[in-house]
Amino acid sequence: MLLPLLALASGATLVGADILSLSELNWTLQNAAGTIRVPAQQPSQVHLDLKAGGIITEPLLGINDFTQRWIVPENWVYQADLSSVIAQHPQPDNGNRTLLVFYGLDTVANITVAGHPVAWVNNQFQQYVYDVTDYLSSPLMNDTTLNIAFESPVAYGQNVSTIPGVEPTITLDFEWTGTRQNIRKITSDFGWDWGPAFAPSGVYKPAYLITLSGSAANASTAENKAASHPLLVSQTGGIFIEESALEITKVGQNPNVRPDESADWLVNVTLAVRSMRADPSPTLTVSIPELSVTSGPLNLSSIPAGTNASTFVGGTFTIPGGLPQRWYPHNLGSPKLYNITVTLTIAGLPAVSYTTRSGFRTVYLAQTPYSQDDVVQHGITPGDQWHFEVNGKTIYSKGSNLIPFDPFYARTTSDKVRWILESAVKSGQNMIRLWGGGIYQPSDELTGGYDLYSICDELGILTWSELGFSDSTYIVNDFFLESVEREVRQNVRRVKRHPSNVQWAGSNEIEVLLLIVNNTIVTDLPPRFFDEFLLVFQDLLHDVVLQEQSSVAYTDCSTTNGVLSLDPYVLRLNNLTAGHIYGNTELYNYDSSQSFNYSTYPLSRFVNEFGFISMPSFYSWEEVLESPDDFSFNSTVVLSRDHHPPATNLTWPNPSAPEGQKEMTLAVEQWLPTPGTPDQNQTFAQWCWSTQVFQSLYMQSEIAFYRRGSGRGERNLGALMWQLNDIWQGVSWSAIEYSGRWKVVQYGLATIFEPVMAYPFWVAETETLEVAVTSDLFDTVNGTVELTWYDWQGHSLNTSSHTFSVFSLNSTVAYQAQGLDNILPAGSQAEDVWMLLTLTAEADGQTYTHEQYFVPTSLANANLVDPEIMVTPGDDLTFTLSAQGGVAPFTWLDHPSDTVGYFVDAASNKALNGFYLVPGADRTVRFVQSAALSTLANPAPADFVVRSLWNNTHL
């Protein structure tokens, strides 16, 4: 529950300030028929209150995603007692006005106050404000309640498609059919191929009653202390700031051209204000104390007296270009932030101030064609650029894609979000793509329930933001256009103060969806589909976004062929020239026999999605499986939580799940020892873990290939893996499980996203091995790669050393050989040996190291021996691991249930797990625990479990 902003004394009288969180009221939840009635909370959602009321069990438990479907078609009513509030409103003309403020309603609802109809709402992504003063002063029929009646989102969405004249859409259904494209709600709520379909309803974000006073006496007595949030300025009197926006750009900056890095900074503040008093000449003052900078009073346009609608006002001022320290992503500099205080003065009211944080940086998304000189002199494949530049410097974007943290937004916490983001930083990621099928991520807890963007600002993570449209066409009419324009404007204005945000993509995969359908499925696709797509995503949303924010680019879609022109904005679509590279791309290949065939990887400027599914760990399954029989790779419950490929309807368990299970099974059988032991639980645990090992091997291979492309014709400058986090305990593409537990691939990302790394590119068909070194540093890197061959008993067979030099954002080949006879140690067979690659490099006065492995055959064929791993616990949850009998590939430590954390090398502090343990080369790791997420504060060292590939077939 939020910290109370206003207390209720004995549930009867209002005391304290002028802001009442609706979480402080007494709430009930009931279904439309009145057969179910339970106490409720705010913010919340129906499933959560039914669970708290004992009607249902934890929704994520067992097969509850199936058994609790009955909740979704129901209509539900939240009701709160307003008696104590109404008692404070004896007359409508006492000089005070009360606003009802919702920062998020999910989704279709009728709102009534004291028996009076207030509004009907239908967009989860908008905030709503209503003056309810007169309703509170004159209840109808002695009604003293606030009612929020939610209509079933499925019923609403399906009903829309039956309206006469509504034309069909192109939509892939996952579970609930014919609805997600017809309602402005989180798309994945109706099912996706990595999550359930609970389709929740409720007041999912904080909501408030705010009472404004027009008393002139307050103007002379109130202390003007800066509030910590614009919402809180209403505590001082007669002003409500409905929206606050801050943008820092370079003077004259335009997202279509590179910023002038020598220009002064332009600070732009915009406020949406409701005021109890009119002022023809209000002023705004902006100050940055750390820089000793103030704008002085900036004259604003007039503000009328009125609380039924807000008035937008704004002012700008400049700061010398060289004065502030710049904000950088964490791997390239310091993410410097400044406190910025905004003061609004309206005659007759106390001046109000609030402090927010932001940073100074420029961002440019390069989308124009490479020059002929680039093509001829630098060997770049002709076509368009597609990469990001920060503060005038081209960067390599390394990261992943983020989905909703929970099926129920209302129970997401900032602690969990911070853990996921800190984990991304620890694994070397500098960019997170905020997937467009989820939520517009929040900026603070007071209005969003949890925070994301401010944490990204602080940690130095770039955010690729997307508007809330995904994998569908839409019913385009005036009603839809007006709703989404308001939605987008509100969210862009809210987010643009964050230096972490680097672009707005208009949608997820809709451009490529239309092109695929048009080119391969329906050759005579009606023109209206492209016409409507261009109207919304090329024209309307492009203009709306850039009217609100000028410091970052807009692109129509996450996966796009780019543009023919930036000004005017004209999409390329199918206007392609053979041999050229355009836009960005994605790759999903589930034929594991081709996973390490580099010819199947795209030659792209930027790859924004690629992935492979894996199981969650045994520990995650323990959180949700209810019977010992369920702990089997293909048990009914496990199958029911594999939604890849999707069912496309409500059939349960997913009839397509065996295909997804088969993809994981074949991958493990082809590339790793097939799990099978006398112990059922160990076999299941090793199967789950082995799917993660394969996922990590495949993702590292792709990322190494894409990063190497920074120095090749494709000039690749971005790789974002699908996906970072999980929404539940089930089969998915994630690197981090629902609880926060790291999968094997998360440690793999920490290795392959090192600033300077070496990777063995092996082509089995030609028996060619190339060791490529890649750097994404700004400076030239010089160093050495040492290649050491071992047998599986751990004997060192030979070593060679190879020097290299790599230019900024580039790659080079440090070693090349062809033919196993020339590559393997003399007299060795591929099944008996492996290579350790150790890189040491110098750049910018720092030393960089990297470790990688090469096995010249499938590990399924390797002649592994019992490694006889010994684990010696030390102080502060450190563990020294020794191999007594042989090499242990993918040596892995698991932390106990009820703990969240990751392992680091005790010496370097780098994330480390899933490594090759060699006899005579002990490794000491330390467990870094999340105190906020762990329910077990002091885990016993004996409860940590070690495994390796040897345990796939041996106890």
Amino acid at 854: F
**Residue 948 to residue 870: CA distance in whole angstroms:** 12
Q: How many helices, marked H, and strands, marked E, lie in the chain?
A: 20, 47
| Closest among 940, 854, 955, 847 to 898, alpha carbons compared | 940
Task: For residue 301, give both structure tokens.
Answer: 């346009």
Coil, strand or helix at 620: helix
509 annotated active-site: yes
**Residue 67 to residue 62: CA distance in whole angstroms:** 9
Contacts of 597 (CB under 8 A, 6+ apart): none
Going from the C-alpha of 512 to that of each of 20, 192, 470, 586, 912, the distances in angstroms are 47, 18, 11, 10, 38
Cα torsion angle, 315, 319, 321, 323, sign: negative
In eight-state DSSP terms, residue 736 is B
**Residue 102 to residue 484: CA distance in whole angstroms:** 17
Q: Which residues of 869-896 are buried (b: 16+ CB within 10 A; e: fewer)?
A: bebeeeeebbbebbbeebbbbbbbbbbb
**Residue 109 to residue 91: CA distance in whole angstroms:** 29
DSSP codes, 681-724: HHHHHHHHHHHHHHHHHHHHHHHHHHHHGGGSTT---EEEES-S
Contacts of 348 (CB under 8 A, 6+ apart): 214, 216, 219, 277, 279
DSSP codes, 893-940: EEPPTT--EEEEETTT--B--SEEEBTTB-EEEEEEE-TTT-S-SS--
| Closest among 394, 391, 362, 393 to 254, alpha carbons compared | 362
Amino acid at 955: L
Annotated catalytic residue, options 466, 487, 509, 586: 509
**Residue 386 to residue 562: CA distance in whole angstroms:** 8
CA angle 556, 553, 461 (to 5 degrees): 105
Residue 237 · residue 19 · CB < 8 Å: no
Residue 154 · residue 138 · CB < 8 Å: no
Contacts of 879 (CB under 8 A, 6+ apart): 871, 872, 873, 893, 924, 925, 926, 927, 941, 944
Task: For residue 616, give both structure tokens.
Answer: 């969650």
Half-sphere exposure of 879 (CA within 13 A, CB side): 25
Cα torsion 423, 922, 924, 741 to 10°: value is 40
Strands 109-113 and 239-250: unpaired
Going from the C-alpha of 474 to that of each of 3, 556, 631, 822, 911, the distances in angstroms are 40, 15, 41, 59, 44
Alpha carbon 916 to its chain centroid, in Å, reads 31
**Residue 785 to residue 752: CA distance in whole angstroms:** 15
**Residue 675 to residue 683: CA distance in whole angstroms:** 6
Beta strands in 501-658 (DSSP E): 501-505, 553-555, 563-566, 569-571, 585-587, 607-610
Q: Which residues are catalytic?
A: 509
